Amino acid sequence: MNLSKFLFLFATLVTLNTYSDVFEVFPLYETPAIDTKGDAADDPAIWINKEFPALSIIFATDKRSGIYAYDLRGKKITFSPAGNINNVDLRTLKLDYTTDNGVEKKDYTFLFGSNRSLNTIDLWIFFDEGINKSMRNRANLRYSNFSINEKPDFRIKSESNIYGICAGVHPKYGLIAFVTEDQGSNVEVYYLAANGLELLATLDNGGESEGCVFDDENLTLFISEENLRGNLKAHKFDEDFNLIGEPLFIDSREGNIVGDPEGVTVYKTDKNKGFIILSSQGDSKFNIYNRQQPYEFIKSFKISSTKDIDGVSDTDGIDAVSVNLNCDFDFERSTDDNSKSRIEEKEENNEFWLNVLAKDNIKDKCDDYPNGILVVQDGYNYLGDKKENQNFKLISFKEILDNLDVTR
């Protein structure tokens, strides 16, 4: 075999091998273009409606004006001019709720935002039953009184130039938030104390970072670092919030990352297993890594265009959940429960959905997300050949899992 033929075959094999590690998925829905021109849409966070998962909410930032809320088909629910909120993240916790019959445990959702207008960490608190009622009214009666107040419930000023934010739950300190620094390497950690947000610790991530996600079950912070090598790192903590050893370098521009590593999220297949998803902004791909150490690279995918929705490029923030978000799935009571009260509740829920689906004729569109959803910011949004303001794209995670060798 001559040298030129050998080199051709070698290049072909390399190309095929590279292609085999990249697959395509397609958006199911997209949000309307945001109102602000230029680089403005940034980061989503998904709230799971535990009673009616199909009525869950996507919070998403316009980092030059405020926070949007969308439904799972990308339709706008509300907008709050809360300021230059760069990133958002949330956690839902069960807390004591006093009733006439005593104290019960109820779900409350805590939505964090990094407010670059005021250089503050903002925290909104929602009573989940209230959100659920608003979403049911919106689905059934065509109105919703759900809103996001311009002023948060808690606010604390940072000494750093704040940038990104990600929330978490720690066994000792409860609700926490990691806040990254613009043009700096600091990562501040706050926790919710009795009197509001307080600074817990400051970490050094080695360079400017924006995207991060805290893995509550594995007590691990996954964080991108945009300077130097363009890294994705893992910082592990113990139950006293002490760092365990040095950060582990997962990937870099010398590996599978092109340009800046941006949004990062965790997709859970069980308590401790699953995937890390990272936006590789320079080549508009999304890298998949094992959620468990040593966090090996698995594959990449691109989000390509459909007949009606353009593909995704130059992505900043992303978020994913693995919960079944279909109409007939009950998150909290998915186990067998044949009590009289539960049977009556199931009948009431079924009647509600039949009514909603009949009004919208959407029966064929209520099984979009059996394995959860991925939401990504789209840096270049097009309507046909016309460039529009940025928006967010919604992808069924089932399509991603179908391209991976996983058991569901």
HEC profile for the chain?
Answer: CCHHHHHHHHHHHHHHHHHHCEEEECCCEECCCCCCCCCCEEEEEEECCCCCHHHCEEEEEECCCEEEEECCCCCEEEEECCCCEEEEEEEEEEEEEEECCEEEEEEEEEEEEEECCCCEEEEEEEEHHHHHHHHHHHHHHCCCCCCCCCCCCEEEECCCCEEEEEEEEECCCEEEEEEEECCCCEEEEEEEECCEEEEEEEEECCCCCCCEEEECCCCEEEEEECCCCCEEEEEEECCCCCECCCCEEEECCCCCCCCCEEEEEEEECCCCCEEEEEEEHHHCEEEEEECCCCCCEEEEEEECCCCCCCCCCCCCCEEEECCCCCCCCCCCCCCCCCCHHHHHHHHHHHHHHHHHHHHHCCHHHCCCCCCCEEEEEECCEEECCEEECCEEEEEEHHHHHCCCCCCC
Query: Distance between CA 394 and CA 396 in Å, rounded?
Result: 7
User: How many angstroms separate the CA atoms of 260 and 230, rounded?
Assistant: 6
The predicted structure's pLDDT at residue 83: 97
Half-sphere exposure in the Cβ direction for 71 (13 Å, CA): 20
- How far is Cα 313 from Cα 328, in angstroms, rounded to an integer? 33
Look at residue 9 in the predicted model and tell me its pLDDT.
36
Query: From the CA atom positions of the chain, what is the Rg in Å?
Result: 22
Say if residues 312 and 376 touch (Cβ distance below 8 Å): yes
Q: CA-CA-CA-CA torsion for 53, 126, 174, 54, nearest 10 degrees?
A: 10
Distance CA 187, CA 171 (A): 20
CATH superfamily ID and name for 25-326+367-401: TolB, C-terminal domain (2.120.10.30)
**Quick check: bond before 294 cis, omega within 30?**
yes
Contact 148, 161 (CB under 8 A): no
The confidence score (pLDDT) of residue 332 equals 52
Q: Where are the domains of the chain?
A: 25-326+367-401
- Indicate the pTM of the whole model: 0.90
For the stretch 379-387, contacts whose Cβ atoms lie closer than 8 Å and that sit 24 or more positions apart, written own/partner, are 379/39, 379/281, 379/313, 379/314, 379/315, 379/316, 380/313, 380/314, 381/30, 381/33, 381/310, 382/310, 383/33, 383/310
Structure tokens at 296: 């090996």
Task: Write out the two tokens for 21.
Answer: 């590690």
What residue type is 73 in one-letter code?
Answer: R
pLDDT tens string, the chain, 408 residues long: the values are: 444 334 333 433 343 344 458 999 999 999 999 999 999 999 999 999 988 888 899 999 999 999 999 999 999 999 999 999 999 999 999 998 887 888 889 999 999 999 999 999 999 999 999 998 898 888 777 777 899 999 999 999 998 999 999 999 999 999 999 999 999 999 999 999 999 999 999 999 999 999 999 999 999 999 999 887 799 999 999 999 999 999 999 999 999 999 999 999 999 999 999 999 999 999 999 999 999 999 999 999 999 999 999 999 999 999 999 999 987 655 554 444 556 665 676 667 667 766 776 666 555 567 899 999 999 999 999 999 999 999 999 999 999 999 997 655
Report CA torsion sign: 114, 120, 126, 131.
negative
